[in-house]
A and B are shown apart, each in its own frame.
Chain A
Amino acid sequence: MTKENKYLYKGYLPTIGIECHVQLKTQTKLFSGVDNDARDAKPNTLVSHICFGLPGSLPVLNSEALVLASRAGFALSARPQNNSHFDRKHYFYPDLPKGYQITQFEAPIVLGGKVKIVVDGEDLEIGITRAHLEEDAGKSTHDVGKDYSLVDLNRAGTPLLEIVSEPDIHSAAEAKAYAQELHLLMQFADVSDANLYYGNMRFDVNVSVSKDDSLGTRSETKNLNSFRSVEKAVEYEIKRQVELLEKGQSIVQETRGFDDSKQRTFSQRTKEDANDYRYFPEPDIPPINLTDQYIDEIEASMPKMPEAWRGSLSKAKLNFAQIELLLESEVENQEISYLSVINNFLDKPDELKKIANWIINIEIPLRKNNPKLKIASDETRTNQYLEVFKLVEAGSLSSNGAQDLITGLLTSNDIIDVSKYASEKGLSQNSNQDELSEIVAKILSDNQKAVDDIKSGEDKAIGFLVGQVMKESRGKANPAIAQKIIREQINSL
């Protein structure tokens, strides 16, 4: 079977390209000094003469947007272009005040690039065609039953980076994985709030199907604002197009919307009503020239990106799910960094494995359920985890004890001396041989059958006995030492 065959749906190969609009988290808008954070603002309160398209108003490029777009470029494994420029894209709509959108058509700030994804255990590379800067439009509201529409220009002029993928995607699952990875990348690069609910990232999916090597006619489903809707829209489009073709009908090149409640796409406009955008270079903004030094400095300021983390963490024997959970959690809450703690143990595989597990199994779920927990500095948290690790290594803390201790440290309002805290709370593990021997002797006499089993070679009963010792000691026993004493006592019986 060729590689593509697994993608075939009723004999048709789906081909998908995705355009993603990322709102950049600049302080002010792309071309005016107005606050760019419209989340809690009343409609039309974040509007200047520039956003309103008043006569005589001129766009002035926000240099912060260039920094963020360049960072995004590096996140896409592409070096930003030295030379790019803006163009005007013309169409009439009430939420587009100037009658044109300022965008980069001819010479975008990012050309090329790639995004790696893993689907069903298989590594795939999705090519990036380009990423260009442009201004967002305002927001139109068309209430049912009203003979007017409302326009809010707060969003007009918000900087967007439109990331255009190559048509390298062939399934709904890949489309979803690509969208998720972009979401992760934009957050690691720290260029967007990337909140899908607020529309910080919106996806347009271009889908076509074909039975041969040529590409079929595509539909573009616009404005998808969740990973699930990306997946569902692609799934629906593949099915719809194949069914039409099977019925002998043809696909119309068109723009479609996605109905979330019905989980299906619907036609918005066909190519016949498409605009001729009449692009030409924006004369009000001089061309952008980024020096190599400028670009190098941005590159040097980039954090370690997900791909590099995956490499380090899998080398430390964390599994796929653990790594992805860590990466997701890293960006879910901007206030805290787990990876900065883990980063300190990259060359200590024992520490890393254990501490990463504690973070994954204890800290992350705890913080998810208690979002208001205080957050100690990366350094303090690193030291605390290290001390807990040492206690466990020394045998003076059980794994249950470690869990209680970490939970205690995280939920306490003060920063604490770990070993003192552990002994005060009675979490320290009992490695005292005499005390343990007494407990073991009691357990052995209470469980004669298990003792007999072990003697007759059924060694798995040892686990049961260790469990009983742990129970008796209320978790304070060191299980390794307990097992050793159990064997000694049985052998000497």
Chain B
Amino acid sequence: MKSWDNITKIAFSVNEGKSSAVDLVKESLKRINEASEYDAIISLTKDRALERAKMIDDGVSQGQNMGRLAGVPFIAKDNFLTFGGETTAASNILKGFNAPYQASAIEKLEAEGAIVVAKANLDAFAHGASTENSDFMITKNPHDKTRVPGGSSGGSAASVVLGLAPFSIGTDTGGSIRQPAAFSGCVGLKPTYGLVSRSGVVAMASSTDCIGPMTKTVGEASLILDIMSGRDPLDSTTIEKDTLGYIGADSDLKGKKIGLVKEYFDDSLNSEIKDSIDELIVKLKSAGAEIKDVSLPILPSALAVYYILCPAEVSSNLSRYDGQRFGYSYEGAKDLNESYAESRARGFGREAKRRIIIGTYVLSSGYYDAYYKKAQLVRTKIVNDFNDAFRSVDFLLGPVAPTQAFKIGEKSNDPLAMYLSDVMTVAPNLAGISSITIPIDMKNNLPVAVQLMAAQKHDRSLLGAARKVEELA
């Protein structure tokens, strides 16, 4: 696992003409090739990456500043629409799909000189917590190839930890950035809902989908968020970024109140994770933070709510994959209905079908009130409970998942056990708040991480506090 210089340093060096973007891209491609046994990458965007690298080097040689990410290679989860190769969302139904436009997040990163070199593996359509649901390959945990990297942004997490590129980007609908960051051992940020545009990202559940960076350090995550965030005319759910941006936030914890979420520290939590967090708490106290116990009694309902609302939106968002305009289409169909049925039956994997069926069920007339509507009511309660909690504390702290990275195959035949991996991450998505995973320890040669949460639009102070946690750990 070779490491990279800090992103800011790389870009500075490129802008100074001291290192070349082409060399950086080649280095990244070389590392990707060397780490192929981890199956973190679905495809390369090699030609376009080298072209862009050359363009950046040329710009520098003409004396231009090529941006805050000049020449920095990065890896995008394969549910971001990008030029230079296919965008598949790791699903057979999108195999062969070449995007005619790019995600807004990609455009913003490119505008600052960053270069997409590859597309990372994921659970197909981001449905999963282990990256085992990819239709193409199972990504391995960088620390133990018999274990999962977490998911659904498992390829993105593994890429950063393996040093394939200085950073990657992922999507987090119910924990899909934070949980693989914890399993694989990197920083993973789920910003406030709406802070980063979803335009050009294959939708999973529109009301909880968030886009965020996966990096080695909190500082780098701050930089990437600073670049990707803000109002986008192509996504009407986006919000303005913090007027101060996200870089250089105050990391002083003196007098700050951190709440320990009682419901996350029950018997289901692995005792080694608990021990690591206890050690961290001691350090946080000595750094001047005030630690409080906080209870959010509604939290045990969050997973149930999530697994109603998310499949409902998934079943709707996946309707457009009908074999008629793009992606996979069954050739042997005799009529329209067969074309629909066979294209979807053959194109979607088991997990996508499971969620389509659940989602269709909960939205059906006669069941809508009992499931979807009730789940929305509880969601409102979750939002209110978080708001209440953030009136008494600045941040909430808890584990990211009940366990460390589990074995490949351990849960893949038990969807309920797999869904339980999300138990600690879904609530922030439902509440739309900001939350970040920070690795704090290694146990059994596997990473241990915590999740730090702040109220909506408090991403800046969250990143400041996260930097202190990173420093103390």
Contact = CB atoms under 8 A, between A and B. Distances in A.
A92 interface: yes
Interface string B323-338: 0111000000000100
A149 B100 CA distance: 25
* From B89, B324, B336, B365, residue with most partner A Cβ within 10 Å: B324
A97 B237 contact: no
B234 A58 contact: yes
Of A58, A100, A285, chain B has the most CB atoms within 10 Å of the CB of A58
A280 B372 CA distance: 8
Contacts of B235: 58, 60, 284
A99 B326 contact: no
Nearest to A93: B336
A480 interface: no
B322 A58 contact: no
Contact of A49 (B101, B202, B207, B363): B101
A54 interface: yes
Nearest to B200: A56
A34 to B, nearest CB: 13
B364 interface: yes
B364 A54 contact: no
Given A49-B101, A97-B320, A284 B236 contact: yes
A94 interface: yes
Interface in B298-320: 312-313, 315-316, 318-320
Interface in B82-111: 87, 89, 94, 97, 99-101, 103
A278 B367 CA distance: 10
A385 interface: no
A60 B197 CA distance: 12
Given A52-B325, A54-B101, A54-B326, A280 B365 contact: no
Given A88-B316, A278-B360, A55 B236 contact: no
A53 interface: yes
A40 interface: no
A49 B234 CA distance: 11
A61 interface: yes
A391 to B, nearest CB: 60
Contacts of A61: 236
B401 interface: no
Interface in A232-278: 276, 278
Interface in B357-395: 360, 363-365, 368, 372
Contacts of B322: 92, 94, 99
Contacts of B101: 49, 54, 56
B316 A100 contact: yes
A58 B203 CA distance: 9
A276 B325 contact: no
A446 B368 CA distance: 94
Contacts of B321: 55
A90 B317 CA distance: 10
A interface, over-half SS: loop
A56 B325 contact: no
Contact of B363 (A57, A92, A280): A280
Interface string B213-250: 00000000000000000000111110000000000000
Given A55-B97, A88-B316, A284 B237 contact: yes
Given A278-B363, A284-B237, A55 B325 contact: no
A98 interface: yes
A283 B319 contact: no
B136 interface: no
A29 B336 CA distance: 28
A60 B363 contact: no
Given A49-B101, A97-B325, A276-B365, A57 B319 contact: no
Nearest to A33: B233
A278 B313 CA distance: 11
Size category of the B interface is 35 or more
Contacts of B372: 280
A100 B360 CA distance: 13
Interface in A294-309: none
B430 to A, nearest CB: 12
B236 to A, nearest CB: 5
B171 to A, nearest CB: 11
Specify which of B320, B326, B340 lies most central, judged by the most chain A CB atoms within 10 Å of its CB: B320
Contacts of B233: 60
Given A56-B200, A58-B234, A60-B236, A284 B206 contact: yes
A56 B81 contact: yes
A349 interface: no
A463 interface: no
B89 A278 contact: no
Contacts of A53: 320, 325
A272 to B, nearest CB: 15
A467 B179 CA distance: 101
Contacts of A278: 315-316, 360, 363-365, 368
A286 interface: yes
Contacts of A286: 236-237
A60 B325 contact: no
B200 A98 contact: no
A283 B313 contact: yes
B312 A94 contact: no
B365 A55 contact: no
B457 interface: no
B22 interface: no
B199 interface: yes
A43 to B, nearest CB: 14
Contact of A55 (B202, B206, B316): B202
B277 to A, nearest CB: 34
Nearest to A91: B319
Interface in A52-76: 52-61
B334 to A, nearest CB: 10
B201 interface: yes
Contacts of B199: 56-58
A88 B202 CA distance: 18
Contact of B100 (A49, A60, A283): A49
B52 interface: no
A291 to B, nearest CB: 18
A279 B201 CA distance: 23
A318 to B, nearest CB: 49
B345 to A, nearest CB: 14
B467 interface: no
B94 A55 contact: yes
Interface in A216-231: none
A285 B236 contact: yes
Given A92-B322, A284-B237, A285-B236, A56 B203 contact: yes
Interface string B185-207: 00000000000001111110111
B316 A280 contact: yes
A414 to B, nearest CB: 50
17 contacts: A52-B325, A53-B320, A53-B325, A54-B81, A56-B201, A56-B202, A59-B236, A92-B319, A92-B340, A99-B316, A149-B336, A276-B365, A279-B363, A280-B372, A283-B205, A283-B207, A284-B236
Which 9 A-B pairs have CB atoms at the shortest separation, nearest pair first? A99-B319, A278-B363, A283-B206, A283-B207, A56-B200, A53-B320, A55-B202, A98-B320, A56-B81
Given A55-B99, A94-B324, 16 more contacts: A55-B87, A55-B202, A56-B201, A56-B202, A57-B200, A58-B199, A60-B235, A92-B340, A94-B336, A97-B325, A98-B319, A149-B336, A278-B315, A278-B364, A280-B363, A283-B313
